[in-house]
Amino acid sequence: MTPLAFILSLPVRAYRLTFSPWVGRNCRYDPTCSAYAMEALRVHGGLRGGWLTLKRLGRCHPWGGFGVDDVPPRKY
């Protein structure tokens, strides 16, 4: 994980430790948004992974979609 991706993953890790146990597994997508964020940051780095995470969070609302939404593979 790049240094920027690690820094961007800190709030996600904090969410997973504090709020996620209370919220439960009520996510409309599989994998959950926090798991998606960690995977996107690990695979794509800070900039692209952060952008993919923001796009995913933008789709995560009551009128959004649902189902399997995997992180796209890295383009070389």
The predicted pLDDT at position 17 comes to 94
Number of CB atoms found within 10 A of residue 3's CB: 9
Residues 16-71: tens digit of each pLDDT: 999 888 887 778 899 999 999 999 999 999 999 999 999 999 998 888 888 999 99
Q: Check: CB of residue 56 under 8 Å from CB of residue 69.
A: yes
Within 8 A by CB and 6+ apart from 52, the residues are 36, 40, 44, 71, 72
The predicted pLDDT at position 63 comes to 87
The predicted pLDDT at position 68 comes to 94
The predicted pLDDT at position 28 comes to 86
The predicted pLDDT at position 39 comes to 97
DSSP 75: P
